[in-house]
Amino acid sequence: MSRRPPRPDRAPVTPVKLSKDEVAFVRGLVIYQDPHVVALNKPSGLSSQGGRGQGHTLDELLWAFAKPGKARPRLIHRLDRDTSGVILTARTKPAAGFLGKAMMDRRIAKTYRAIVTPGAPEPGAGVVDAPLRRDEQGREAYMRVCPADHPDAETASSRYRTLAEAPGAALLELHPETGRMHQLRVHLASLGRPIAGDARYGGALVVGGQPVPRLMLHAAVLIFPHPSGGEMRIEAPVPPDMAGLIAGLGLG
């Protein structure tokens, strides 16, 4: 799940040097671009920003789109490292300001797909309104459902709808109304329907006898007001690993 939008005016002073393979890789993720925005289909395993791994983050890879002497595109929002799907960037400072404000005003709509276990939630569609708080454990950060009067409580709301179900699993469509860290993951776990592959929040690592290769959460659709006017809809196809599990479980 996406976290709070990063500040769009923050950009490294010194460009990150990328290899030819890295440039080709990130350019291959583009699903839409124009003079104002670039939308990419982020793969699972790639940190949006601030990752602790050895490789570059997506934020650093965006230098592949920078013109000489200019800043790279700016991330408008983030996706968790193991979540795949649509992520939006702004090419210019005015576009970043416009989209950042749209994000804060909740004018950007996100649709996710998720495989959950051990079956569909009851009821099959609804809204989870459960405040969340951050819980630090060593170097790891978790989000926990908490009472609304907790001093660290942040409001959080998620809509869900069951698309398909099979013995031991279900495919859900999700719409986060707020953008808290790990929001969808924690809200579904609070229903007793954690996302498959989500070891952090109790997700199954094997479903229907099939190993789950990663967190089965995909940002499928992003609808946003375009800086030049009108509304735009960007869709990212479900990646092969998740599509294979959906087919193998009889969910699609």
| Alpha-carbon gap, residue 231 to 224, rounded angstroms | 6
pLDDT digits (tens, 9 = 90+) for 162-186: 999 999 999 999 999 999 999 999 9
| Alpha-carbon gap, residue 84 to 242, rounded angstroms | 10
Catalytic residue at 80?
Answer: yes
Using an 8 Å Cβ cutoff, are 100 and 209 in contact?
A: no
Q: Which of the residues 80, 135, 152, 198 is marked catalytic?
A: 80
| Alpha-carbon gap, residue 243 to 252, rounded angstroms | 8
Q: Which DSSP symbol is given to 186?
A: H
Percent of the chain surpassing pLDDT 90: 88
pLDDT digits (tens, 9 = 90+) for 13-36: 589 999 999 999 999 999 999 999
Query: Quick one: which of 183, 171, 173, 190 has its CA closest to 117?
Result: 171
| CA end-to-end span of the chain | 23
* Residue 9: predicted pLDDT: 47
Task: Decide: residue 153, CB within 10 A, 0-12 exposed, 13-18 middle, 19+ buried.
Answer: middle
| Alpha-carbon gap, residue 195 to 244, rounded angstroms | 16
| Alpha-carbon gap, residue 219 to 225, rounded angstroms | 18
Q: Which DSSP symbol is given to 7?
A: P
- DSSP three-state, residue 140: strand
* Residue 50: predicted pLDDT: 81
Structure tokens at 29: 């993720």
pLDDT digits (tens, 9 = 90+) for 39-55: 999 999 999 998 666 68
At residue 225's C-alpha, the angle toward residues 220 and 229, to 5°, is 135
Name the pTM for this structure: 0.92
Question: Which uninterrupted H or E stretch holds 89?
Answer: strand 84-90
Residue by residue, DSSP assigns 11-43 as: --SSPPP--HHHHHHHHTTEEEE-SSEEEEEEP
